[in-house]
Structure 1
Amino acid sequence: MLHLSIQYLAIPVLVGVVVLWRLLKVGQRPKGMPPGPPTIPILGNLHQMPKESPHLQFQKWAEEYGPVYSLMLGTKPTIVLSSDVAVKDLLDKKGGIYSDRPDMFISQRVASGNHRLVVMRYGETWRLIHKLVHNILNIKVAAKYIPYQDLENKVLLAGLLDTPDALFNHIRRFSYSLSTQMIFGFRCPDFADPMLKRLFETVETWGVVSASGVAQVADLYPIVQKLPHFLVPTVSQAKKVHEVGRELYTGHWLKAKQGLKDGTGLPCFCNDLLLAQKSEELSDEAVGYIVGSLLEGGSDTTSSTLYAFVLAMMVWPEVQKKAQEEIDRVVGPDRLPEVDDYPNLPYIRCCVKETLRWMPTVILGVPHSVIQDDTYKGWVIPKGATVINNVWTIHMDPKRSPEPRRFNPDRFANDPTTLYQSANGEPMDRDNFNFGAGRRLCQGIHIAERSLFLGMSRILWGFNVSQPLGTATPDIDDLVGGITVHPRPYKVDIKPRSTKTVKIIRTAVKDCEDLVHPDSGQWKKVPDGMVFGSWKPDSKVKV
C-alpha cells in the first residue's frame, strides 16, 4: 500500500519537475544563435530593456557583442543587425524570407485593425499594396508632383517671415500639406488645422502604445492578449488610436473618392487607388489605411528631418556659412533655388545625406521577421525571429563616420548618388538606413529627397539661423518620440538675409496665391504637368 502511495506521489512530482525544467528553459538563448547578453529564466533579456533611449543600449550591446548579436525577449528570439554589411546580406539579398513583420498584437492588430502598411505582415495583401504604392511613387510619376512641392515650400518661407517662432509648426504644415495634396488632392493652408493636429497626435500616440512595455509583453507572452481589457489598459488606448485613425483616414479617402467620381478631384494618389479598389475589391477601410499610412510617413519623417537640419545649422554655423556660399554662387540673390539646381549644389546634397545620417528619425528601424530557418556566418537565425535594423548604431559607427555626432556634410563630398541609388548600392557606401531595406524600402524616397532639398536650400537661401542670445546650446541628443523621433523643441533665431530676399519670397508667394482660391486656399485648376493615375491590375512589379 505504501509502495503504491509513493508511486502515485512520484507522478505529480515528476510532472512538476518536467514543467519546472521547461519553464526554466524559457528565455534561454538557443544554441547556435549569435552571441548576446546573458539571459535569465522566463524573461531572457527582457529585464534589461531600457524604458528610455533604447537606441543607446542597443549601441552598447553592439560594441560588446559585435555587429550581429541576439536578445531573448521572453519567448521571442531577436537578431540585431548593427552593421551595413549584415543589413545588405540579410534584408536586401535575402528579402524573400526577411520581409515579414513580427506579429504585433497592440501595434498592428489592435491599434491598426491589421491595415497599417508599415507593420503589415508579408503576404498577398502586402504585395498588392506594394505594387499599388510603387505605381504611384516611382521616380517618373513622383516628378509630376513637383508643383505641389514648390508651392508648399514657398508658403513655408512666408510663414518663417511672419512667425519665425513657429518653426516646428510651419515645417509640419509644409510636410503635411504636401502629403495631402499628393495623396488626396487638397491643401492644408494653416498649421492650426484640426486635421493636421489630429494626424500628428494619432501618429505619436500610435508610436507610444506600440513601443510600450505592455505591447512588448503581449507579443512575447501571448497569454496576455487573452486577459480582460481592464487588466491591460494599453489595449483600450490602442483601440482608441484605431478608432481615431480609421475615422480620419477613411474620411479623407471617402471625400477624395467622391471628388474623383463627380469630377471635382485633382490628380492625386487616390486616382490609382480608386481604380485598384474596383479591380481588387478593397474595402474603404483598407484603402483608407493605405492612404493613411502614406500620409503618416510623408508628414512625420520629412518634418522631423527638416527640424533636425535647422538645429544643425544653429549648432554648426560654419556649415551654414559654407552652404550659403554655394547657394549664392550657383543660384544668386535674384531667385529661389529650384529642383533643377540640385545637380549643381553638391554641398546641399551632402547636407541632405548628413542630416539623415546624423539625426535618423526611425531610430531602430521597423522590425522584420524571418519566415524560415536561416544561417549567417555560422549562426542560426530561427524561423519567426524578429530582426532589427539598428539604424542608430550603424549611423554612429566611427569606422563609417568619424566623429559621428559632429554634423559634417563633407563626409559625403565624393558621393554623387541619389538616396535611392545609395540605398541599392554597396553597403559600406550607403549614406543612411532611414528608409528601411530590402523589399520594405520606403518607396517615397524620391519625393522625400526633393522635399528635403527644396526645404534646406531655400531656408538657407532666404534666412540666417542662429542661437538666441542668452540661451544654452540645445542638447543634440535629446530626442522625443516613440517609433519615430525628432529633436526636443528648441529656441532659434530665424531672420531674413536681406530686404531683397523678403521681397522675392513675398512675390513668389503672391504668384502662388494667384493659383489658389482666396477663401479655401485650394488650387483653382490642375497645375501644369499634373496627370491622373494609370493603375493597371496586371502591372508587373517585383515584390
Structure 2
Amino acid sequence: MSIYFVHQFTDALLGNVLSIDTKEPWLTYTEWAAAHGDLVFVRLLGQEVVVINSQHVAEALMDKRSRIYSDRPYLATLEPFGWSVVFAFTGYGDEWRLSRRLFHQTFRPDFALKFRPKQIKRAREMIVNLIDDPQHYHDHFATFSSSVAMSVTYGYQTSPRDDPLVRIVENALAVSLQVMTPERAILLKIFPFLLRLPDWCWGSAIKRDARISTHRMTEMTDLPFQYAQEHMVENLSLSQVSMVSDNLQRMEKLDHASKSIFETALKKVAAAAITGSYETTTSTLMTFALAMVLQPDVQRRAQAEIDLVVGGDRLPTFEDRASLPYVESVLRETLRWHPIGPIGVPHATSSDDIFDGYFIPKGATVISNIWGISRDEKRYPKASSFIPERFLAVNNALTDDDPAKYVFGFGRRACPGRHAADASVWSVIVTMLATVEFSPAKDDQGKVIEFTPRFTTGFTHSPMVFPCNISARSRAHSELVDVFRTGA
C-alpha cells in the first residue's frame, strides 16, 4: 500500500490539472487510487482529507479503530442548508450516543423483522400503481420508500399516490443533497460572505438555495412530528405504536431540561430515518429499473427463478428469499453497480493516529471511496457492467462477497437502518420481478427510444428519470395483482 500527497490549495480558484471534480469527486479519487494506492492524503485549502480506497483499509481504520474514526467533520453547508436536524451529521459525543440509542431501539435487526408484513404489503400496493400509472414510476418508488419509515417512525400511513408528506420529503432533499459533500462545502468555507449578499447581487443564488433548503428541512422535520404528537392517543388506542409516540410517552417522566434534550434528539433521529429511507431506497430502485431495461437477459433469468420457486398462483414472500439466490445476486449487483452514496458520509478523526507507518492527524476528514471499492477491476472484472453472476459460485450458491458490507458505511457510523433498508429493497425488487416487465420505451413509430443514462451528483448518485416501458408480465400476473388491488 502507498500513500500519495496532493497539495490542493488553489482548486476552487484555479481549477488546475490536479483539481477534484466537485460534482463527482469519487471519479477523481478512483483515478488516484489506481495510480497511488489504497490511502490518499489530500489538502483542501488547509483541511487534511484522507481518502480510503479499499474495503480492507476502511475496516482496519473505521471498524477496528472506531473510537478514533467516528466523529464528523465541519461542513460549511450543514447549518446554512438546514441539515443539522439530521442526526447522521451530529458530531461524536453524548448527543450522538442518545440519538443512536433511540434509532437502534426501533431499527435494530431483530426489531426490524416486525416491519416485514408492512414491507410486503407496501411493495404490492406499489405494483398496482406501477401497472396503472407506469409513466410516474419514480413517484411510486418514492412513495414506497417513505411508506414503511413514515409508519414506523411517526405512525403515519402514506397515501398510495401523491402523498403530501412524501412530497415534502422529496422537495426538502431536492435542493440540499448536491451541496452536502466536503468538496462542495469548500465554496462556503472560502467565501462565507456569500450568505450575506443581497438577493439582487451576482453570486447570491447559494444564499437563496440555503434559505429554501432550511425552510424545507424544517418543514420535513416538524410536520410529521406534529402529526405523531396529535395522533398519539388515537394510534395507541389502535395499538399502532411508532418510534416517536413510544418515546414521547417515555419523555413525560423526564424533567424540563431533559425533555428538551430528548425531544431534540428524537426529532433528529426521526428526520434521519425518513431522509435515509427515502433517498437510499428510491435511488436503489431507480438503479434496478435502469439495469432491467438495459439487461433483459438478467431480468428473464431472475423471473424464471421466481416462477420455478414460487409458482404462478401467489406472490413472493420473505420465506422464499433463501431459495432465490439469483434474485439475491441481482440485488447485490444493484448495490455495487451504482452505489447510492459513492463517498458515504465523511468521518473525522478525534485524535492522532498512525496506520501502516503513516501519520493521520486529529481533525482530518476521512472519506471512504465506496465508488472506488465497487469499481476495483481485480475484484470485479468488467466493473462498469451489470453482471449479477459475479456473486454466484459454480454451484449457484452465493459467494461471501456482499456489497452491503461496504455500501452502508463502516464502523460506529455505519447506516443504523441498513437491515430494514435491505429488507425493503428486496421485498419490492422480488415483487416487481414476479409481476412486471421492464423494457425500452418506444416512440409512436414503434422505434426504441435511445437514451444515455444521467445521474444526480453531490451527496448521492442516482439515475435520473429515463424512458422505459413497464407492464404486467402476463394475464396471469395481472390477475394476481388484481386480487391484491381489490383486497380479495
Length-normalised TM-score, structure 1: 0.80
CA deviations 1:224-276 (Å, max 9, x no partner) are: 37973547653453243223222232121122123223545722222333245
The one-letter code of the counterpart of 2:143 is R
CA pair 369-212 structure 1, distance change in 2 beyond 3 A: closer
> Could you say which residue in structure 1 is the equivalent of 2:164?
194
From 293, 297, 302, give the equivalent of 2:281. Answer: 302
CA pair 387-360 structure 1, distance change in 2 beyond 3 A: same
From 194, 218, 227, give the equivalent of 1:246. Answer: 218
Q: What is the CA-CA distance between 1:153 and the residue it aligns to?
A: 0.8
From 257, 260, 282, give the equivalent of 2:229. Answer: 257
CA deviations 1:269-296 (Å, max 9, x no partner) are: 2233324544452364543332111101
The one-letter code of the counterpart of 1:497 is R
1:269 paired with 2:243, answer yes
Cα distance in 2 between the residues matched to 1:40 and 1:153: 49
> Could you say which residue in structure 2 is the equivalent of 1:146?
116
Cα distance in 2 between the residues matched to 1:439 and 1:225: 35
Cα distance in 1 between the residues matched to 2:11 and 2:149: 45
Asked if the contact 2:440/2:448 (under 8 Å) is kept, the reply is: yes
1:404 paired with 2:377, answer no
CA pair 95-507 structure 1, distance change in 2 beyond 3 A: same
> Could you say which residue in structure 2 is the equivalent of 1:327?
306
1:501 paired with 2:477, answer yes
Gaps of 5+ in 1: 1-32, 423-427, 513-543
Gaps of 5+ in 2: none
Asked if the contact 2:26/2:342 (under 8 Å) is kept, the reply is: yes
Q: Secondary structure at the match of 1:135?
A: helix
CA pair 134-229 structure 1, distance change in 2 beyond 3 A: farther
Q: What is the CA-CA distance between 1:52 and the residue it aligns to?
A: 3.2
Asked if the contact 2:9/2:43 (under 8 Å) is kept, the reply is: no
Cα distance in 2 between the residues matched to 1:509 and 1:475: 35
CA pair 42-484 structure 1, distance change in 2 beyond 3 A: closer
> Could you say which residue in structure 1 is the equivalent of 2:41?
70
CA deviations 1:22-56 (Å, max 9, x no partner) are: xxxxxxxxxxx931335457979985122433221
> Could you say which residue in structure 2 is the equivalent of 1:95?
66
Asked if the contact 2:165/2:224 (under 8 Å) is kept, the reply is: no
CA pair 258-190 structure 1, distance change in 2 beyond 3 A: same
CA pair 276-375 structure 1, distance change in 2 beyond 3 A: farther
1:464 paired with 2:455, answer no
1:35 paired with 2:4, answer yes
Q: What is the CA-CA distance between 1:460 and the residue it aligns to?
A: 1.0
> Could you say which residue in structure 1 is the equivalent of 2:346?
367
1:482 paired with 2:453, answer no
CA pair 457-315 structure 1, distance change in 2 beyond 3 A: same
Cα distance in 1 between the residues matched to 2:147 and 2:404: 28
Cα distance in 2 between the residues matched to 1:325 and 1:479: 30
What is the CA RMSD across the aligned residues, in angstroms?
2.6
From 163, 173, 192, give the equivalent of 2:143. Answer: 173
Cα distance in 2 between the residues matched to 1:336 and 1:399: 38
CA deviations 1:162-198 (Å, max 9, x no partner) are: 1112211111111112221121112222432332222
Q: Secondary structure at the match of 1:77?
A: strand
CA pair 499-113 structure 1, distance change in 2 beyond 3 A: closer
> Could you say which residue in structure 1 is the equivalent of 2:417?
444
> Could you say which residue in structure 2 is the equivalent of 1:228?
196
1:157 paired with 2:136, answer no
1:126 paired with 2:96, answer yes
Q: Secondary structure at the match of 1:490?
A: coil
- Equivalenced residues, count: 468
Cα distance in 1 between the residues matched to 2:11 and 2:294: 46
Asked if the contact 1:369/1:386 (under 8 Å) is kept, the reply is: yes
Asked if the contact 2:83/2:217 (under 8 Å) is kept, the reply is: no
The one-letter code of the counterpart of 1:73 is L
Cα distance in 1 between the residues matched to 2:458 and 2:318: 33
Asked if the contact 2:172/2:220 (under 8 Å) is kept, the reply is: no
Q: Secondary structure at the match of 1:64?
A: helix
The one-letter code of the counterpart of 2:452 is D
Cα distance in 2 between the residues matched to 1:147 and 1:186: 16
